[in-house]
């Protein structure tokens, strides 16, 4: 949970709430409640934002508030193509001393999403879980591949699903072909691998199976911040609601995640996610059906 200041070709925000856990919670709470949130914030994190999360069934028992420090702050500016961005400011603040503690009331959580953070912290959280969850998914990034590869390899052995983007999959394995990269990553531990390709959609790998979900072609991408975390939240939310971790159901979960992500980018930060309705989500999932369904009877 964090504060972001974002500049895109369409506008600029002051500090608005962000952070992986915030996006995951907003997306997943459309499908399952409670969301057992674990995070850390500073004295500056607005009470109204905490209340807004609580009102969506997000438990904040695992969110530590540090009274004399500020929340993590990130500021970035997107380029015209919206695919690349410059980081202007990264103030770790409270995140510098983050040692997450899993509250007793969270024990027994069946679906665990580990946001992008030091792999050592991800390992520590998994070790605190008294009962092995039905599914542990994790995100990571190139920074940890460069600075903590041994830890990263250790946590990869402990999780069921990894979510990375295409360049991260290539960097992690040294393979340019995503099919080869996927095979290599699945040997490192995760039985399921999701490779996110932004505007080009996402691939799900499991054994010899591959599923491809497109991104919805949009007239405007207003702000891509949080789209990947929103995707993860929709994906995990659908799985947790259905309690079905078959490959077939994971395909559906990826479509659900893609639908949620397509809302996220329509406005700044979490703004669109806060207001999106069940009917809008259902209608958008139907758009995905229209987008990819075809008839091969004539071939």
* Interacting residues toward a second copy by CB under 8 A: 80-81, 176-180, 197, 200-201, 203, 209-214, 217-221, 238, 242, 244, 248-249, 251-252, 254-256, 282, 285-286, 289-296, 298-299
HEC assignment per residue over 206-236: ECCEEEEECCCCCCCCCCCCCHHHHHHHHHH
- In the complex, what is the shortest distance from the CB of residue 226 to a second copy, in angstroms, rounded to a whole number? 20
Give CA–CA dist 6/12, Å, rounded: 6
Q: Residue 200 gets which letter from DSSP?
A: G
H/E stretch holding 111 reads strand 111-114
Looking at the Cβ atoms of 1 and 204, the one nearer to a second copy is 204
- Choose between 42 and 257: whose C-beta lies nearer to a second copy: 257
Taking the complex as a whole, the smallest distance from the CB of residue 88 to a second copy amounts, in Å, to: 23
Beta-bridged to residue 162, according to DSSP, are 138, 193
- Shortest Å distance, C-beta 114 to a second copy: 25
Min separation Cβ 267 and a second copy, Å: 16
| Distance from C-alpha of 247 to C-alpha of 119, rounded to nearest angstrom | 26
Comparing CB distances to a second copy, the nearer of 150 and 219 is 219
Note every long-range contact of 65-70, with CB atoms under 8 Å and residues 24 or more positions apart, other chains counting.
Answer: 65/40, 65/41, 66/40, 66/41, 66/42, 66/94, 67/43, 68/43, 69/42, 69/43, 69/93, 69/94, 70/42, 70/43, 70/44, 70/94
105 or 246: whose CB is closer to a second copy? 246
The C-alpha atoms of residue 295 and residue 293 are separated, in whole angstroms, by 7
C-alpha distance from residue 107 to each of 60, 63, 74, 119 (Å): 14, 15, 31, 21
Q: Which is nearer to a second copy, 191 or 241 (CB)?
A: 241
Q: What are phi and psi of 279, to 5 degrees?
A: -65, -40
CB of 8 to a second copy, least distance (A): 13
Residue 44 or 81 having the CB closest to a second copy: 81
- Residue closer to a second copy (CB basis): 135 or 254: 254
Q: Tell the smallest beta-carbon distance from residue 134 to a second copy (Å).
A: 16
C-beta of 152: minimal distance to a second copy in Å?
A: 24
């Amino acid at each position: 949970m964090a504060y972001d200041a974002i500049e895109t070709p369409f506008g600029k925000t002051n500090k608005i709430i962000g952070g992986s856990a915030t996006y995951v919670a907003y997306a997943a709470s459309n499908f399952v409640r409670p969301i057992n949130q674990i995070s850390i914030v500073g004295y500056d994190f607005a009470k109204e934002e905490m209340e807004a999360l609580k009102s969506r069934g997000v438990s904040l028992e695992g969110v530590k508030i540090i009274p004399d420090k500020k929340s993590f702050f990130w500021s970035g500016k997107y380029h015209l193509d919206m695919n690349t961005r410059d980081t202007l400011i990264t103030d770790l603040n409270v995140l510098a001393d983050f040692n997450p503690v899993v509250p007793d009331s969270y024990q027994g959580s069946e679906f665990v999403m580990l946001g992008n953070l030091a792999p050592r912290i991800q390992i520590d959280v998994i070790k605190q879980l008294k009962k092995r969850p039905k599914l542990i998914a994790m995100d990571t990034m190139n920074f940890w591949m460069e600075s903590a590869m041994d830890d990263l390899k250790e946590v990869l052995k402990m999780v069921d699903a990894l979510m990375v983007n295409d360049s991260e999959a290539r960097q992690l394995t040294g393979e340019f072909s995503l099919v080869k990269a996927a095979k290599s990553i699945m040997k490192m531990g995760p039985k399921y691998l999701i490779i996110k390709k932004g505007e080009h959609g996402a691939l799900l790998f499991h054994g010899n199976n591959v599923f491809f979900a497109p991104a919805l072609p949009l007239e405007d991408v207003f702000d891509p911040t949080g789209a990947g975390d929103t995707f993860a939240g929709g994906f995990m939310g659908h799985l947790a609601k259905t309690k079905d971790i078959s490959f077939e159901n994971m395909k559906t979960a990826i479509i659900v995640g893609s639908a949620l992500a397509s809302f996220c980018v329509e406005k700044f930060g979490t703004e669109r996610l806060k207001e999106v309705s069940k009917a809008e989500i259902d209608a958008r999932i139907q758009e995905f059906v229209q987008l990819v369904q075809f008839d091969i009877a004539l071939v």
